Every structure is written in structure tokens, then in C-alpha cells.
Amino acid sequence: MATSAPEDPTGEYAFLQKLIAPMDRHLIFPLLEHYSLAEVEKSPERHNDLQLAIYRLLEPTNMVDYLAGLYPTLSGAKGAAPNFEAKRETVLGKLEQYEKDTEYLSNLLSDENVTSQLRSDKVANLKFLEDSHQVTPQMIDDLYTFGRFKYDMGAYGDAADLLYRFRVLSTDNDKVVKATWGKLVCEILGEEWENALEEVDKVKEHIETRLFNNPRAQLTARESLVHYALFPFFNFEPARDKLIELYFSPPYISSIQTVCPWILRYLAAAVISNRARLNNSHNYQKQLKDLVRVVKQEVYEYQDPVTEFVKALHVDFDFEEAQKKLSEAEAVLRGDFFLGSSTDAFVDSARHLISELYCKIHQRIDIKDLSNRLGMSDSEGEKWIVDLIRDTRLDAKIDYKAGTVVMNHPPQSVYQQVIEKTKGAFFRTQVLSAAVAK
């Protein structure tokens, strides 16, 4: 990197540095490429810095053709140009050797007559393959080695297939785990989102079972998994609820709060954007309640415009600050690798949240004032409020002459207020009693 990097007034590159730290280098590549392309016209100096970073990131890999094409475009690359042709010949030589080493077993595993006789018992399968087809443990390990080599070349589809075949047969638990992580990355980079989600489940199972007696390793593995899972999280709609549930589960939300609180940006954006799909369902209200609780807990450890919007609206009930933070959040999200495509959904859902909460705590609402709070013109705001009343079935009516919305909040009786307060006091007494008893 250049020694005098351009200023980063939003702190997004400092944020990016945290985000990529737990990631595999092949997953980091598309992120750096995204931000590099965004800087082509805005900051040629930063664009070049990011291109250099991409080159250095991929230099240890076997993606020789890509590196050979990238190197001449770099400004500030020092020393003699690497001998890409020699490295390419080396890579092709190894590729040919690995193909020979795995050809027999690969053909065997493509034969239905053979695979139909395989069972879920790996030991029995190995015995069958050894006795009937002279398959050796080394042949199985060669699948793993070749899979890693293909992965290093950027041939992710081939790598995923080789690692899968290795995992089906191997009894080497350590390598099977590595193959599972590798296959997860391959499915992500191949944009096979359904397969990627299946691999997330397999990795999670490994973390919760095999690392059960190693809390530190569990924490590190969970940190990596929540970062890897961001890819299917925001590219595969069916993954949304499943991964929100994963992130909010006690072991994972605890890990996020402990080692990577910046993931709260993505969790908050996902929950808020989910409103359009789940509307006012019980599940959405629970997600929102959990989000507010976590953001409130982490306010002194981590904040960005997205979490600050949640805090302003649902903790401080500061509508002016919420609108300000929503504008800042929109700018941040549009440039974010994961969230750019869901920015409009986020802004729309956030405006609904502002409107709904504002309507709940006011008896009479000035349409012009609410429009300003939502960052809309008077006509846009009026249409918005009409749609809101219709969609959420609020008990309200619009006085067009006065330019106001009148909310029909049913008054709560004094008797009901006493009951609610008594419930709260009783609950707190129970908590105190339990604490004293311990």
C-alpha cells in the first residue's frame, strides 16, 4: 500500500479492514475489487492502492493469468517484473500431475455401479473400495490436494466437486473440516447460494460439536462463519430468516458482541429491510425487539449510521436524529459491498418504522412536519401517509383542510394503567428475590 493513503472521512476503509480480517483471501478479493471500481473516478490514488492490495492478496495463489494481466496496470510496483510465464508453466505441470493422480478414483466415483454400493459408513466404504477396486488412502488424500490446488487457481466449481468427493470418503476429521470450510468458500464464489447455505449448516454443526471443549477455537470459528455467511445472507432471499436466527442465537450474538460488533450493521440492515416481507408479523416484532436490545447494549462499543438510526428511533425516540442518521445510513449502505442492492428496501422500511412510531405517540400529526421528518416533499409525504394508514390499518383519519392526521388512540383506563404498573413491579420483585436467593 502507498505510505500516504488518501483521507477516509467516513471511516469505511477502516471498517473494511475489520471486515476482511477473519476472511479467506479468495473471499476478500471480490470486496477489494468492488471498492477499487468505486474509486476509479473519485480517487485514482486510492484505486491504485486497492489494485496493489489485490495483487499482493492473490500473489501467493495460482491465479497466474489474472496476476499477469493486473501487474502492468499497477502504478508504484517496485522491482523487476515477476516471471509469470515460468510460474504458469509450473502451475500447468502440477495440474497435469494432479489430474493423473486422481484420474482413476474420479472415474470410479463417476460410475453408478460403484457409487450405488456406497453407504453412510465411511469405514465400510473404504474397505469395499480397497478390496474391490484397489483404492488406497493416498488416492483419497490426492482428491483433497487436487481440490486445494484447483481452489488456488480460482477454479471453484471443480474444487467444490473434488472436496465433496474427498469428504464423502475420508476418515481424517481434520482434513474433512478443512474441506468443508473450503467447499463453503467455493460455493459462495460460484454463487451457488443454496449449496452455500447447506455448507453453513455443516460448518455450524462442526463448531458446536467437535469444538465443544475448546471455547477459544469455537469463538474464532464462529467469528469466521458470521463473516462468510454475509455472502448468502444478502444474495439469497431464502437465507435471510435462517441467518437472522443464527446471528441472534445466544452463542453467535455473544460472539458478535465479543469479537466483531461491526456485524451489527448487517444484522440491523437485514432486520429492518425484512419489514417489507414480514410486515407486522410476530416474528418481525421479535427480531426488531432483539435488535434494539443488542444495539442498546453495544452503544459504547460500536456505532455506525445504521445502528445509530436504531438507537435514535427506538431507544431515544428522537425523530430528528433518526432522520439524520437515516440519511447517513443510506449513503453508507449504497457503497457497501453487501448492502448496496438492498438500500432502497432498507430506506423504505426505515421510513415506515419512523411513521408508525410517530403515529403511535401523537394524537394529531401535521402532514408537512412528518413529511420533513421522512425527507419527502409535502405531496410525497401525504401519499406516503395515506398508504401507511391503508397498509397498517391504523385507526386514523386525514383532515385535508387542516393538513393533519388525527389518530384515534383508545384511552387507557386508570384501572388498566394500575394493572400494567403492578405487573411491572411484581416482575421486578421476582427478579430481585431470585437474585437475593442466590
Q: CA nearest 257: which of 272, 244, 271, 247? A: 247
Q: Please report, to the nearest 10 degrees, the dihedral formed by the alpha carbons of residues 66, 68, 72, 78 taken in order.
A: 110
Residue 152, CA distances (Å) to 50, 317, 384 in order: 21, 51, 51
What is the CB-side half-sphere exposure of residue 6 using CA atoms within 13 A?
15
Residue 382, pLDDT score: 74
Number of H helices, E strands in the chain: 24, 3
d(CA 327, CA 349) in angstroms, rounded, equals: 13
The band of 1, judged by pLDDT with boundaries at 50, 70 and 90, is very low
When mean pLDDT is compared across 119-123, 239-243, 415-419, the lowest value belongs to 415-419
Q: CA nearest 225: which of 210, 207, 209, 242? A: 207
Q: What are phi and psi of 167, to 5 degrees?
A: -65, -35
Are the C-beta atoms of 434 and 426 separated by less than 8 Å? no
The band of 413, judged by pLDDT with boundaries at 50, 70 and 90, is very low
Residue 433 clears pLDDT 80, i.e. is over it? no
Domains of the chain: 1-82 (no CATH), 362-437 (1.10.10.10)
d(CA 17, CA 19) in angstroms, rounded, equals: 5
Residue 323 clears pLDDT 80, i.e. is over it? yes
d(CA 372, CA 382) in angstroms, rounded, equals: 11
Beta-strand relationship, 364-366 and 404-407: antiparallel
Overall average pLDDT of the 60-67 stretch: 94
Residue 3, pLDDT score: 42
d(CA 44, CA 207) in angstroms, rounded, equals: 43
More confident residue, 79 or 207: 207
d(CA 98, CA 100) in angstroms, rounded, equals: 5
Residue 207, pLDDT score: 94
Residue 435, pLDDT score: 47
d(CA 26, CA 401) in angstroms, rounded, equals: 61
Residue 414, pLDDT score: 44
SS (H, E, C) 373-390: HCCCCHHHHHHHHHHHHH
Overall average pLDDT of the 283-298 stretch: 92
Overall average pLDDT of the 334-358 stretch: 90
Residue 385 clears pLDDT 80, i.e. is over it? no
The band of 52, judged by pLDDT with boundaries at 50, 70 and 90, is very high
The pLDDT tens digits for 387-412 are 776 766 666 677 777 777 776 655 54
Q: How many CB atoms neighbour CB 40 within 10 A?
A: 13
Residue 367, pLDDT score: 74
Overall average pLDDT of the 214-228 stretch: 95
Residue 425 clears pLDDT 80, i.e. is over it? no
Residue with cell 460448518: 203
Please name the residues in contact with 329: beta carbons below 8 A apart, sequence gap of 6 or more. Answer: 305, 306, 308, 309, 346, 350
Residue 431, pLDDT score: 45
Residue 123, CA distances (Å) to 117, 126, 178 in order: 13, 5, 20
More confident residue, 412 or 130: 130
When mean pLDDT is compared across 49-58, 110-119, 137-146, 273-282, the lowest value belongs to 273-282
The pLDDT tens digits for 360-383 are 777 777 777 777 777 777 777 777
More confident residue, 262 or 357: 262
Alpha helices in 341-413 (DSSP H): 343-361, 367-373, 378-392
Residue-averaged pLDDT of the chain: 86
Q: CA nearest 374: which of 397, 354, 391, 399? A: 354
